[in-house]
Amino acid sequence: MAPLGPHGSASVHAHALLVSLPESWAKFSNDNILRSQRERNASKGLRSDSDSVMQETSNEMWTQHNNVNVSFDGRIAETMDARNSIQNHLAKVLQEINEMENNISLLRKSIKDKEAPMQVAQSHLENRTRRPNVELCRDQPQHRLVSEVGEIYETVDILQNRLRAAESVLQELVRTKSTLEHDLQVKNSSLYLDKEKCMGLRRTYPTTAKLAGYRGQ
The pLDDT tens digits for 172-195 are 999 999 999 999 999 999 999 998
44 in Cβ contact with 194 (< 8 Å): no
Any domain includes 124 = yes
What distances in angstroms separate CA 128 from CA 85, 148, 203, one per listed residue?
A: 64, 14, 90
Q: How many residues does the chain have?
A: 217
> Domain containing 95 — which CATH number?
1.10.287
Any domain includes 11 = no
- pLDDT value of position 162: 95
Any domain includes 66 = yes
- pLDDT value of position 112: 92
Higher pLDDT, 204 or 18: 204
Among 9-13, 39-43, 87-91, which is the least confidently predicted range? 9-13
pLDDT class of 5 with cuts at 50, 70, 90: very low
Any domain includes 193 = yes
Any domain includes 148 = yes
142 in Cβ contact with 118 (< 8 Å): no
Structural domain tally of the chain? Answer: 1
DSSP symbol at 4: P
Identify the domain containing residue 104 by its residue range: 29-205
